[in-house]
Structure 1
Amino acid sequence: MERIVRNGSPDQRSWALSTLVQDGSHRTIRIHNAQLRAASRGVAPARLAPDAGPRRAVADAAGSETLPGATARAEGGEPVADVTVNEAYDGLGATFAFYAAVLGRDSIDDEGMSLLATVHYGDHYDNAFWNGRQMVFGDGDGELFHRFTVSLDIIGHELTHGVTEDEAALMYVNQSGALNESVSDVFGSLVKQYARGETAEQADWLIGDELLTDAVQGVALRSLKAPGTAYDDPVLGDDIQPAHMDGYVRTTSDNGGVHINSGIPNRAFYLAASALGGHAWDRAGRIWYESLRAPQVRPNATFRSFAAVTVRQAGVLFGAEERQAVSEAWREVGVAG
């Protein structure tokens, strides 16, 4: 967004600036809502039967910035004429199904939380976000970005922020913030892989590959397999994600580079999943998930401390082969596990 403000057309700059201004506020609200949820833990939620499945509702903001908007489709309802509503509904369901079937998790909070989403948010809003209570999707600007509901891994990414808030409460700054973003990329990719039935070898390991229009010189927003190669565009600039600690970016922008330095743990996961083979969610995904839930992972976790927990969990959950694969993956990106 910052690069579009510098390099885009007048309209693109205006839309990007509006998105940037709102994003700062939305992240503050997300932290606030996460704190409220944490304070209410221990209060028994209203729950359906364990096998009841997701409880989804998709609302339409109709271009406004008022949440949630008018309900357009609720759980069990038939598809509607608006493809954006249906994509959001299906994406919520696919993410719920992944966490339930693969990891035994009952929704975002593991307590049957309803999954709410709002589509058609704002005017040419170039983002999607989890605000601590619900998902929100912009329609994109139509010139650089398509509608944000089009990408299942984006939906999985944003909902996983809620899982991370619930389990580890990783601080959204510096290395803990980069881990926060990386965990969302990892499980966003796994949600897509699970829905497609792909192995680690078959997966594209891209985030947001459907999102960029043909006007953009790039393939996605990020690549877990090859950080730094997702795009190289006159307006968006080049992908500056490092793939190794040698390229770690020390900056005060982007909350200390949370969307930049996440490339390092992203590649570590890709390397571990590729070394183990098969479906990435079976072993590598389970290791990362149980590590996120481990009490040793503190809110201010560093790459090194998180790596150490993943190596330990690999051994506890599986064995020496998995422990070696995870340890080697972290070493390959310059992090001692």
Structure 2
Amino acid sequence: MSCSGHNPVNCIIPPYMLQVLALRGDEDTARMARSLLKQNEQVRDERAEHARAGVPPTDLLSGAFASHALSPSGQLCCPDRRIHDGGFKAALPGTLIRSEGDDPCGVDDADLAYDGAGHVFSLFAEEYGRNSLDGEGMPLVATVHHRRAYNNAFWNGAQMAYGTGDGELFRTFLELSVIGHEMAHGVIQFAGGLIYENQSGALNESIADVFGSLALQRSLGQQVHEADWLVGRGILGPGVNGVALRSMKAPGTAYADDLLGQDPQPWHMDHFVTTTDDHGGVHINSGIPNHAFYLFCNYLGGRSWELPGRIWYRALQSLNNPMASFADWADQTMDAATDLTGRGSIETVLLRRAWKLVGIGF
């Protein structure tokens, strides 16, 4: 693949799932999967070319810290949502159909994207003091109806794009944990980024899953024990044997389908998958830090977006290590927990236990 780990297109559907469809699917399904894999590479190559030309879509080091998130008056800023209709074509962003403050436009997907972006903005602004994805009020640009029967959603470095699904394998991508996941990739990018390969890439995916799940739980007002901890619940088609793309509670159990195969995510380092596919298994091995976060939240109880979310957010802001390993990230979260709760606190003890239970020591 010609793009670098600095310039990924962060898609919600992992390449390993598409590769299985290309092998197991009928002629039409296999053609769709191969086409989608090719399209993803083309968009990645385009983004890498922009970066090589000196016009990256974003400044990776801009707006990383929470000090930029408040207006001069100290009031929390408002989102600037710009939702476009792609007209089932490939060009982005498409036709603007709903701007910030507009009434619902009557296009269900556009209104879902608008509301979802608002929930995610609210999570970062009200809980962590961040003004949009870059910390400096960046407009939240999204496109719905991207391509025809497109089985994916992605963050391309500058905006979100959502397909409608084909109605058989995937029925929608406008589910809040998916919206939160894609937007969180933007936050990660502007916080200095995590190179999209191997363990740092799996951390990139895991942190996006974490904040996607937090956005959903917060919107529903759920306590830790009430949440299902699924990423992409309800997006699988009616004939697929599965509940979601990933499970943070029980990695490896989200689906088991004759066509899609078995969810391959491990929950423990003993089962870490070493592979050259998917940038070194970034969507597979993310299950390990995902499960550590789930365990920590369940040890604490209460609301996951409060102290656990603040620890993960603080750790991201101070990481300054784009090649971080799982152990590096565990250390960073421990430092953040110590800063927020004090050395030797019960919270730091429980966080250390959560990391140990997934096979990551200190």
TM-score normalised over the length of structure 1: 0.94
Alignment partner, residue 93 of structure 1: 118
Distance 2:58 2:159 in 1: 13
Contact 1:15 1:124 in 2 (8 A): no
Distance between the aligned counterparts of 2:114 and 2:354, measured in 1? 36
Give runs of aligned pairs for residues 55-66 of structure 1, distance below 5 A. Answer: 55-66=80-91
> Which residue of the partner structure matches residue 23 of structure 2?
6
Cα distance in structure 1, aligned partners of 2:109 and 2:334:
40
**Post-superposition shift, 1:52?**
4.3
Residue number among 126, 129, 133 corresponding to 2:154 in the alignment = 129
Matched, 1:223 2:247: yes
| Match status 1:23 vs 2:40 | yes
8 Å Cα contact 1:160-1:188 kept in structure 2? yes
Whole-angstrom CA distance in 2 between matches of 1:142 and 1:48: 47
Deviation >4 Å, runs of 4+:
28-36, 47-50
In structure 2, what is the equivalent of residue 259 of structure 1?
Answer: 283
- Output the CA distance in 1 between the equivalents of 2:47 and 2:122: 24
How far does residue 101 in structure 1 lie from its aligned partner after superposition? Answer: 0.9
Show the 5 A alignment for 1:95-110: 95-110=120-135
Structure 2 unaligned blocks of 5 or more: 1-17
Q: Is residue 303 from structure 1 mapped to residue 326 from structure 2 by the alignment?
A: yes
CA distance in 2, matches of 1:163, 1:77: 25
Distance in 2 of aligned mates of 1:179 and 1:263? 9
1:143 CA displacement: 0.5
Secondary structure at the residue paired with 1:57? strand
Q: State, as a whole percentage, how many aligned pairs show the same letter.
A: 46
Query: Root-mean-square deviation (CA), in Å?
Result: 2.0
* Gap regions ≥5 residues in structure 1: none
| Contact 1:58–1:71, Cα closer than 8 Å, also in 2 | yes
Q: 2:335 aligns with which of 301, 312, 332?
A: 312
Deviations along 1:271-299, one digit per CA (max 9) or x if unpaired, are: 0111111001111111111011114x400
Partner of 2:214: 190
Whether contact under 8 Å (2:144, 2:163) holds in the other structure is yes
Q: Is the 8 A contact 1:48 1:112 kept in 2?
A: no
Distance 1:215 1:48, change over 3 A: farther
* Residue aligned with 1:93, SS: helix
Counterpart Cα distance in 2 of 1:39 and 1:86: 29
Partners of 2:196 and 2:297 in 1: CA distance: 25
**C-alpha contact 2:60 2:190 (8 A) present in aligned 1:** no
